[in-house]
A and B are shown apart, each in its own frame.
Chain A
């Protein structure tokens, strides 16, 4: 992104009046200081605290037993198959939901790009899942599939299928809720990307006799690569934090626990602050790793990202 301010009308004068530049610089720092201070206060400070706590064996119920253990908490977490099972669950759901959302979101974007009549209605409808509370979405889907209140089994003649009694069917419903709620975000980003593809290129390809699929793969997709990568990066990081849907639908039962849920359970339910902090730090590191992987691997130019 081009964050440089457009050169003001006084730009040429600035070189002469360097004290003016200094005062502008001071004013700039003063104006961003509250924002930077608040952002660091609410994230960097707690994260430092988590880093510190993760080096102790410390349970809130036994404060006297607080003891420095070095990296032992990390060894415990990484040596436990539960951690790896949760990582596997989280990664699987992340990959499945992001792939489905990308395909579905692209189809939606194509429709929204073409539509003229009813454009407003479609955009308004699609923003409702975007704005709805995740917990509300989770309840809606849970009750739709539940044995007692649900209609899905009845509609599809599935008898007494207990969706939440088994791992993969639970994960399927969790993914559905997640996909419903977050596809609008991807589709709107892709729509903005589609709008960037020059119509001239499409026309030229059509005149040259390119088929619909050729135009899609040779013209449309390459021209919106940046939009796709940004959408995928944002959604991947968001999906990896999956928590609300799991909490409402299964509370982590049937091996549906995600990494975020594990951190929450250790910290808040078990009040094992030392061990829980280690999980939190590892969760944070995995998010960092995914982001770095994307930026390096796919050369996502974050300077092109704005808003969202």
Chain B
């Protein structure tokens, strides 16, 4: 059957784009409203203002939260992708009993309700001094970034023609050369995709962020947003919260624009085998 676009497909595509972007446009529009405009009950501002952006960038609560979010998410992503790469390599490449069990454990843990971990971690972290620290969030973040990376990477690594490494060695390459020149370029896209997906999840976390932090020493942006009350108690926080929300959405949009194909592949790369 030829795939031809009927008018319905085109209409559908337009509707999907509108549906996906409308709330984003709305929060951008709200962030550009100032003063009475915020409560004008209209979609668009009557005049555009960058006042809310000035407010959030002059609010230490937000700037420190932004720093925390970036640092914690990147570290949690890097650590889990590193550990998962080694494990996924072993699962794809080596023959040993129990590798199916490892993947099942990862799947079970990915389905774990985060809230179930919050209470005990709150209790343990307070006694070992990890409460309200970066490490105190990085470790729990790995409860979802690590299984996710492991699954994504094992799916990718299964497709790699590992024999090429040996072929290169037969052609006279040293094992290290063969690995660096043949395997690394083949594995890199998978590792990169796993990192993007893990970063999205870490960036999105709210449950651990509000439960395991109490000051701006480690509080990430989503948690800070929930506690944000505006520059003064007389100021309506909706504008400032929207501006902050737009700022933290920028990295997501940039990653999606640059790596759309990789993300789709990572989510569905044989996610379902027919």
Q: A residues bordering B, Cβ < 8 Å?
A: 1-6, 8-9, 14, 21, 24-25, 27-29, 31-32, 34-36, 38-43, 46-47, 49-50, 53, 60, 107-108, 110-118, 120-137, 139-141, 143-144, 146, 148-151, 153-155, 180, 184-185, 188-189, 191-193, 196-197, 199, 202-203, 206, 223-224, 226-227, 230, 237, 240-241, 243-244, 247-248, 260, 263-264, 266-268, 273, 276-277, 280-281, 283-284, 287, 291, 302, 304-308
Contacts and interface: CB of A to CB of B under 8 A. Distances in A.
Contact of B95 (A28, A114, A185, A244): A28
Contact of B269 (A111, A150, A281, A306): A306
Contact of A36 (B16, B105, B263): B105
B9 interface: yes
Interface residues of B, number: 112
Nearest to B167: A9
B107 A223 contact: no
Interface string B4-27: 111001101100110111011011
Interface string B240-261: 0110010011001101110010
Given A227-B272, A247-B226, A263-B115, A206 B1 contact: yes
B178 interface: no
Contact of A189 (B17, B252, B268): B268
A287 B111 contact: yes
Given A3-B100, A115-B9, A189-B268, A21 B119 contact: no
B245 A136 contact: yes
B12 A107 contact: yes
Contacts of A127: 256, 260, 263-264
Contacts of A143: 26-27, 30, 238, 242
A238 to B, nearest CB: 8
Contact of A263 (B20, B24, B119, B139): B119
A46 B225 contact: no
A76 to B, nearest CB: 16
